[in-house]
Amino acid sequence: MKLGWGDGGVQVKDYVFHRDLTKTYPIITHGKGVYLYGEDGKRYLDGCSGAVAANLGHGDKRIAEAMALQAEKAAFVHTMRFETPVLHKLAEKIGKLAPGSLNRVYFTCGGSEANESAIKLSRQYFRNRGEPEKQVVIGRWLSYHGNTIGSLSAGGDIKRRQPYNGYLLPFQHVSAPHCLHCPFNREESDCETKKDWSCVAELERLILEIGPSQVSAFIAEPFTGSQAGAVPPPKSYFREVRALCDRYDVLLIIDEVMTGFCRTGAHFAIEHYGVEPDIITFGKGVSGGYSALGGMIVHDKIIDTLLQYGDGKFVHGYTYSGHPVTVAAGLAAMDIYESEHILRNVKGLEGHLFEGLDNLRKKYPFVYDIRGKGLFFGIELASNQDGQPFPPDLRIAERLNEKAMELGAVFYPGNGTVNGYAGDHLIIAPPLIISEREVDELISLLDDALKDLADSLKE
């Protein structure tokens, strides 16, 4: 088998355990700004920042140099014995960005580890308070929190959970608010005006059924991301959830792995809803995808409890927690978020991107819905005007993305399943440094891919 990695075409065996062993993937040699370049010279507009991670685009020398400099100074110290200036600087920047009393920052190597850490910390918090039986985590269907056993148990991604059913922790799940396909057949405006929320009531019922003395945390993505396709919650949902968590002394963990760091037009998406969680987890955008970095920002009340009622030790940790080189990438990324006024760019282009996508909705009847905020949008594809999903074996979202890649753009396809609903969607989430002209190019490439899909559906 020929491996195309720019080695002069030497015939070699394939040593890579690919994510899908039946596939071959284009080899990318470099990137610049919003574009990635294949070794065959092909250019791709990165319409989803990889996995909604490369927020600052590709090939930014400032981040690369900061990492190289740190590697040369001290590539690794063990945080059980030593710390580094970059660790303190980055923690301070993130702690200051976070809402209210969330100040202390714990670093991991990505989003799954971040959520794993938050799950364990919520347990330790209650153990230190003398309530060891408070340990059940409630998550939501249609949510994704990572692939480690704890985070997978908290998540509600049926397809990813199913093969590991025997391994999963006995966590519980409620419906995510997806008003377009409300599992309770409610109208969003009804829930808002009557303050009568079926999905919040479901959460309360479950807490009471398990027993509030057993429940440690409720974990939720602020926008249901990869499973539902960038679905924002109804405006007051998180306020209602916060009140419930307070009533039953349950920690609220908000998973900002996909939405953090300006993606939705706020530093953290939860800011749109005026709610202060107990733990925010993050990943992806914190380093703009330049290094494997994630973590959690923790409320002072949890830190105080560990110090006052415990021995101040969080019984957890990774060799690479706070790795100096990955943290240096995060620090350089934070500088760029600030100096390049990334938040301003996101807010400035939100309307333009939405308008472009909405025009596509008007043009193609199978584009059923456009939703999102900032530079984080989902396109839902349906087989008729009532939102009837396409049969899963048609692989509509995957096919659309394959066509887009052929044409020179890449998006993030998905197909979530819950309450009998299975829908195809595409996440549109370009690097936050994108320009207006590049947004137009993105829309035009997506238009061409949709046109091809429209033609193939006629056949």
Which has the closest alpha carbon to 87: 101, 100, 73, 99?
A: 73
In the DSSP assignment, the letter for residue 163 is G
Binding residues for ligand PLP, rule CB under 6 A, total 16
Decide if residue 146 touches ligand PLP (CB under 6 A). yes
Decide if residue 149 touches ligand PLP (CB under 6 A). no
Considering only 51, 303, 394, 454, the residue that binds ligand PLP (CB under 6 A) is 51
CB of 407 to ligand PLP, least distance (A): 25
CB of 287 to ligand PLP, least distance (A): 11
Select 55 or 226, whichever has its Cβ closest to ligand PLP.
226
Asked whether the CA dihedral 27, 113, 51, 165 is positive or negative, the reply is: positive
Select 118 or 136, whichever has its Cβ closest to ligand PLP.
118
Considering only 99, 111, 277, 416, the residue that binds ligand PLP (CB under 6 A) is 111
Decide if residue 144 touches ligand PLP (CB under 6 A). yes
Considering only 70, 124, 226, 326, the residue that binds ligand PLP (CB under 6 A) is 226
Considering only 46, 157, 255, 424, the residue that binds ligand PLP (CB under 6 A) is 255
Q: Footprint of ligand PLP on residues 292-331 (CB under 6 A)?
A: 294
CB of 105 to ligand PLP, least distance (A): 16
Select 157 or 240, whichever has its Cβ closest to ligand PLP.
157
In the DSSP assignment, the letter for residue 2 is B
List alpha helices for 155-229, DSSP H.
Answer: 158-161, 188-194, 198-210
Select 218 or 390, whichever has its Cβ closest to ligand PLP.
218
Stretch touching ligand PLP by CB under 6 A, among 8-16, 25-33, 88-96, 142-150: 142-150
Q: How far apart are CA 14 and CA 4, in angstroms?
A: 10
Query: By beta-carbon distance, which residue lies closest to ligand PLP?
Result: 111
Q: Footprint of ligand PLP on residues 267-286 (CB under 6 A)?
A: 283
Contact in structure between 282 and 298 (CB atoms under 8 Å) = no
Which has the closest alpha carbon to 442: 57, 46, 56?
A: 46
Q: How far apart are CA 434 and CA 405, in angstroms?
A: 18
- Look up residue 319 and give its two tokens: 């060799």
Stretch touching ligand PLP by CB under 6 A, among 16-24, 140-148, 170-178, 375-383: 140-148
Decide if residue 221 touches ligand PLP (CB under 6 A). yes
Q: How far apart are CA 447 and CA 158, in angstroms?
A: 31
Cα 451 to the center of its chain, rounded Å: 29
Q: Could you please report the per-residue DSSP string of 120-160?
A: HHHHHHHHHTT-TT--EEEEETT----SSHHHHHH---HHH
CB of 359 to ligand PLP, least distance (A): 28
- Look up residue 400 and give its two tokens: 């659309």
Decide if residue 225 touches ligand PLP (CB under 6 A). yes
In the DSSP assignment, the letter for residue 265 is S
CB of 439 to ligand PLP, least distance (A): 23
Q: x/- site string to ligand PLP, residues 388 to 417, per CB under 6 A? A: ------------------------------
Which has the closest alpha carbon to 198: 212, 182, 213?
A: 182
**3-state secondary structure at position 403:** helix
Considering only 257, 293, 298, 333, the residue that binds ligand PLP (CB under 6 A) is 257
> What share of residues in the chain are helix, strand, coil (percent, to 5)?
45, 20, 40
Q: In what order do the strands lie in the sheet with 376-381?
A: 367-373, 376-381, 421-428, 412-418
Which parts of this chain interact with ligand PLP (CB under 6 A)?
A: 51, 110-112, 115, 144-146, 221, 225-226, 255, 257-258, 283, 294
